[in-house]
Amino acid sequence: MKVNPMNTVSALVVTEPGHIAIEERARLTPGPDDVLVAPLRSGICGTDYHIFEGNQPFLSYPRVMGHELAVKVLKAPADSGIAIGETYVVNPYVACGSCVACRKGKPNCCTRIGVLGVHRDGGMAKELVMPARNLVPSQGLSADECAMVEFLAIGAHAVRRSGVGQEDTVLVVGAGPIGLGVARFAALTGAAVTLTDRDQARLDMAQKLIPECRMMLASEIGALDAETSEGFDAVFDATGSRASIEAGFRFVAHGGRYCLVSVVKGDITFVDADFHRKEMTLLGSRNAIDADFEQVIAAIKAGHVRAEDWITHRTTMAAAVTDLPLWAKDRSRVVKAMIEI
């Protein structure tokens, strides 16, 4: 991409850990396989908070965040089939297309992946240049709905990867946005889903979003373990806590699966004898693929996820300079915060 120094666009930039500002950045000219888009919405997720706080590995500053995006197309390759002026969902995982993972249909874990807003600048800006292949047709979704697809697709991917079905019992640990997405799509399979968290207020919010799920405080999980001695067919951790991940092994039923959706720095440990005794399957789930995006879009269109219920906080790009640091300090009442670009 070629920089045009004569023109600039405004962007929300984390210049260094703990410092965020609006800056003018050189406008980029799209290459032959790129699109030029105007971001309309950007959801704020845990990764964005970690970038602001300086806790995101393999990231360099300054960085324009934003990977949960709804965008309007300004320019596109003539033969791309992309409609100028239309709103699209963004798949932010820019894959190489040729590595071992890509060749096997797993671009979500490409060996050279570049995630918008993480490894390369993202969509908290007035304009964004990105590969045309990473646009997903919105199928009539609103801008708010489009910006919710990516984080829900992470949950949908984890559920699909774990093979959850209607005969399964499921435990989801962590009622943040990703855990809620896992619980939502696990429940849609017909599985019996229990969602646990340390915060009763967050569970109360979750109950309104996914009424068919059973809610359980983390402090009660010991009693739950005694009550359901068989454990759960599938357990998902979405906490980002090493202690939580390690504790979760004991809730997996014999022959069950344990899926780690969250990521922590460093090692985790478990009791090998217990792991083998149960013939447990341990899974990592990373990002999402096209099928997951399509599943989420269909679920939103069917009314299984209502954006107005999930979006609890709103701000503008200018106001986010103040709002994002405040929400980073206390996310307990935030389900999904949305920036109107």
Mean pLDDT of 167-171: 97
Phi, psi of 105 (to 5 degrees): 75, 25
For residue 264, the model assigns a pLDDT of: 86
For domain 2-151+288-340, say whether CATH 3.50.50.60 is its number: no
Residue pLDDT, tens place only, 94-146? 999 999 999 999 999 999 999 999 999 999 999 999 999 999 999 999 999 99
96 close to 112: Cβ distance less than 8 angstroms: yes
- In the chain, where the domains are located: 2-151+288-340, 163-284
Q: Taking 90 as the threshold, does the pLDDT of residue 225 lie above it? A: no
For residue 1, the model assigns a pLDDT of: 52
- Two tokens at 44? 């704020």
Dihedral of CA atoms 181, 182, 187, 188 in degrees, nearest 10, equals: 70
* Those residues with Cβ within 8 angstroms of residue 194's Cβ, 6 or more apart along the chain or in another chain: 169, 170, 171, 172, 213, 214, 215, 216, 224, 232
Which of the four pLDDT bands, split at 50, 70 and 90, describes residue 58? confident
β-pairing verdict for 169-173 and 232-237? parallel
Which of the four pLDDT bands, split at 50, 70 and 90, describes residue 265? confident
The two domains 2-151+288-340 and 163-284 share their CATH topology (first three levels equal): no
For residue 331, the model assigns a pLDDT of: 86
Omega cis (within 30) before 32: no
Q: Taking 90 as the threshold, does the pLDDT of residue 293 lie above it? A: yes
Among the ranges given (48-62, 106-120, 131-145, 178-192), the one the predictor scored with the smallest mean pLDDT:
48-62
pTM of the model: 0.94
β-pairing verdict for 135-137 and 63-64? unpaired
β-pairing verdict for 19-29 and 128-131? unpaired
| % of the chain exceeding 90 in pLDDT | 90
Among the ranges given (52-61, 186-195, 204-213), the one the predictor scored with the smallest mean pLDDT:
52-61
Which of the four pLDDT bands, split at 50, 70 and 90, describes residue 223? confident
For residue 57, the model assigns a pLDDT of: 75
For residue 248, the model assigns a pLDDT of: 95
Q: Taking 80 as the threshold, does the pLDDT of residue 285 lie above it? A: yes
Cα-only R_g, the chain: 20
- Two tokens at 34? 């790129």
Which CATH number is 163-284 given? 3.40.50.720
Q: Taking 80 as the threshold, does the pLDDT of residue 2 lie above it? A: no
Mean pLDDT of 65-84: 96
33 close to 57: Cβ distance less than 8 angstroms: no
Q: Taking 60 as the threshold, does the pLDDT of residue 162 lie above it? A: yes
- Two tokens at 88? 């699209």
For residue 197, the model assigns a pLDDT of: 96
Q: Taking 90 as the threshold, does the pLDDT of residue 74 lie above it? A: yes
Q: Which helix (H) or strand (E) holds 306?
A: none
